[in-house]
A and B are shown apart, each in its own frame.
Chain A
């Protein structure tokens, strides 16, 4: 899996855990391809009619690529999780400046804590399913 400790374990694991608890079917490193571009969405989740694309970013420079990939996958919501509020501000500016259409549900650019809170608040509570955590490291394999 691509990305470092902060990207994969600190930012994406909690989001994936939460989405699974909410009953979503998740998938890491989802390959998408559209005219002229191809890439991997860090995390995708399908929850009923919702198609949530989740990208973890440590800086704002790849945000326009995230938007293209979300559009290619026909996501209804793009969640860009960043480590701090400062990065969130710059990423939000990059989102505002980027061309192209947005998912119908919008683009959330949030630090980890607020992202978890908003996902929890905005999606209905469903029976939880436990993730496949590694028993020795505690991280998702």
Chain B
């Protein structure tokens, strides 16, 4: 019997099948690998050829039926940070340092962005020195606190009212900080160019007054000083001045002196040593933009100025729902590079910037380029799929698969660093963290920041944007003539009646003290002010208004005991 012809290895369809199988990760099992090895050494009979062809045939059938995804399984080496699971339910992990290049997560509502961010935060929080996570609209991240507490991480939750920040307080070079402040204010207040020029002059004068250029480092002007400066500067361009006063005044009202009236407040550098959730829901968009923008820009510029290069990651900044914060719509003073360039500069400075957005609308191309690791969750717009898919290098079948198969918890990822640049699928497990952190716990968490230095500016404690004059009622001549706080004869009579008939409604004492009702009321009020009587409200009857019941104080008893002793002597 003539031997069966051996299947050709190269130059026919077996070679094509082999290439297809390798590029689609079909030969991962030991038998397939052994068959490959045998084929490699020229031992390729019909049985070995079938071992190679069969998985390929099955895979092609599934692909044509739309049952398999057109993505490869990544080979990433030893994992430090788990992103999720691949299509074969194996963990997909990356090196932590790869996230230095920034992370951009996009997905519409309910697509699993926050879940993925929380999953990563839980792993990162214990291993980085500082963590700032912003929760701009929800109160979701606060519930990580008890979970992280078990890992020894004290997560601080800061609501807008608990932040203590003077954005005019420089950290490092005053001149550069002035530019940062101008940029932040212009971004938050959307000021016209003339107003920015006035603010620039005002800031320079204020820093000079407070000696900041001369090296004074423990008292700085506040935004309230800036407002008062502009209010007093009546000779500058009137429309520009009014624009500043209107917008800055409204901002300061929302900000409140409790948050911003400090000569020396928390420094971003101090905060960079803590793990903090900035829970900004409830604050106006201006306040969010100002406080977060200031912290972010101050920190980033300081690091850029410091000239650190290729340092290890020590601060993770997470911007949840950052569409508005990162939007390129609002203007800038032009003194500083915009955030997208900054995102590129900070890569080697130990800051990892993560942003989660619902769509690409408003995000500049530069920002997308510099937040290099990309995660595409389920999107809601064809344009977003097209643009983000192109950014991630998705092929047409991959993009089509993403359009039709994206669902919550499933995301397509492309890494910026590491050996694997091809996009791949991850499935992030759904975290079920019970919502147990209440406002009392939030209050408790801020105790970690109590040790930070604070110098308030008490003169602005009751600040209003409108000038007020305090009007007090002048004392009557008869009251002025009273010697000290001693009661008059009428008041003494009233007190005697109260002592003799305790517990009566105050209306009863007019007749008991033998005086008119109106006079009795005046005397009662006077005695309360002088500290001889204390008033209590008690419902002594079945209906009608509550009665005022008078309690004689120790001063009354002392007064009458002295009188009694004087009478005896």
CA distance A5 to B534 in the complex (A): 10
Residues of B in contact, count (CB < 8 Å) = 16
Say whether, besides A84-B546, A114-B542, A117-B542, A9 and B503 are in contact (CB < 8 Å). yes
Q: Output the least CB separation between B77 and chain A (Å).
A: 58
Check A106 for interface membership: any CB of B closer than 8 A. no
Q: Nearest chain-B residue to A117 (Cβ)?
A: B542
Is there contact, CB below 8 Å, between B537 and A13? no
Measured CB to CB, the nearest residue on chain B to A58 is B536
CA distance A18 to B501 in the complex (A): 18
* B238 contacts the other chain (CB 8 A): no
Q: Tell whether A84 pairs with B500 under 8 Å between CB atoms, given A6-B549, A114-B542, A117-B542.
A: no
Quick one: which of A1-56 are within 8 Å of B by CB? Answer: 4-6, 9-11, 13-14
Residues of B within 8 A of A96 (CB): none
Please pick, from B500, B539, B541, the residue contacting A138 in the complex, using a CB distance under 8 A: B500
A residues less than 8 Å from B538 (CB atoms): 6, 10-11, 83-84, 111-112
Interface readout for B472-499 with A: 1 if CB under 8 Å, 0 if not? Answer: 0000000000000000000000000001
Q: CB distance A9 to B540 under 8 Å?
A: no
Determine whether A105 belongs to the interface, using a CB cutoff of 8 Å to chain B: no
Given A5-B551, A84-B546, A13:B503 Cβ within 8 A = yes
Q: Considering only CB atoms, which chain A residue lies closest to B541 in the complex?
A: A113
Q: In the complex, what distance in Å separates the CA atom of A23 from the CA atom of B540?
A: 23
**Contact of B542 (CB < 8 Å), options: A13, A14, A113:** A113
Does chain B have a CB within 8 A of A139? yes
CA separation between A138 and B503, bound complex, in Å? 10
C-alpha spacing A83/B537, complex, angstroms: 7
Known: A6-B549, A6-B551, A10-B549. A137 touches B539 (CB 8 A): no
Counting CB contacts under 8 A, is B502 at the interface?
Answer: yes
Q: Which residue of A lies closest to B537 (CB)?
A: A84
Q: Is A62 an interface residue (CB 8 A)?
A: no
Kindly list chain A residues whose C-beta atoms are within 8 Å of the C-beta of B542.
113-114, 117
Shortest CB-to-CB span from A116 to chain B, Å, is: 8
Min CB–CB distance A88 → chain B (angstroms) = 8
Interface readout for B492-527 with A: 1 if CB under 8 Å, 0 if not?
A: 000000011111000000000000000000000000
Bound complex: CA of A112 vs CA of B537, how far in Å?
A: 11
When chains A and B are docked, how far (Å) is the Cα of A4 from the Cα of B553?
A: 11
Residue of A nearest to B534 (CB): A5
Contact yes or no, B502 A112, CB < 8 A: no
Q: A138-B501, A139-B502 are in contact. Are A6 and B536 (CB under 8 A)?
A: yes
- Which A93-141 residues sit within 8 Å CB-CB of chain B? 111-114, 117, 137-139
Asked if A83 contacts B536 (CB within 8 A), the reply is yes
Q: In the complex the two chains form, is B539's CB within 8 Å of A113's CB?
A: yes
| Smallest beta-carbon distance B332→chain A, Å | 54
B537 and A10 form a contact (CB under 8 A): no
Q: Which partner residue on chain B sits nearest A11 by CB separation?
A: B538
Q: In the assembled complex, how far is the CB of residue A79 from the closest CB belonging to chain B, in whole angstroms?
A: 15
The answer on a CB contact under 8 Å between B502 and A114 is no
What A residues does B546 contact at CB under 8 A? 83-85
| Chain B residues numbered 531-561 whose CB sits less than 8 Å from any CB in chain A | 534, 536-542, 546, 549, 551
B-chain residues with CB within 8 Å of residue A84 when the two chains form the complex: 537-539, 546
B500 with A112: CB separation less than 8 A: no
Determine if A85 and B539 form an interchain contact, defined as CB atoms under 8 angstroms apart: yes
- Chain A residues lying within 8 Å of B500, measured Cβ to Cβ, are 138
Contact A113 B540 (CB under 8 A): yes
How far, in whole Å, are A5 and B553 apart by their CA atoms in the complex? 10
* Cross-chain contact A83 with B539 (CB below 8 angstroms): yes
* A11 / chain B contacts, CB cutoff of 8 Å: 538
Task: Tell me the smallest distance from the CB of A90 to a CB of chain B, in Å.
Answer: 14
Report the bound CA distance from A117 to B542 in whole Å: 8
State the Cβ distance, A132 to closest chain B Cβ, in Å: 16
Q: Which residues of B contact A117 (CB under 8 A)?
A: 542
Smallest CB separation, A112 vs chain B (Å): 5
User: Smallest distance from the beta carbon of A138 to chain B beta carbons, Å?
Assistant: 5
Asked whether, in the complex, the Cβ of B539 is within 8 Å of the Cβ of A111, the reply is yes
* The 8 nearest A-B residue pairs measured at CB: A111-B539, A5-B551, A113-B541, A83-B538, A6-B536, A113-B540, A84-B539, A10-B503
Interchain residue pairs with CB less than 8 A apart (23): A5-B551, A6-B538, A6-B551, A9-B502, A10-B538, A11-B538, A13-B503, A14-B503, A83-B536, A83-B538, A83-B539, A84-B537, A84-B546, A85-B546, A111-B540, A112-B540, A113-B539, A113-B540, A113-B541, A114-B539, A137-B502, A138-B502, A139-B502
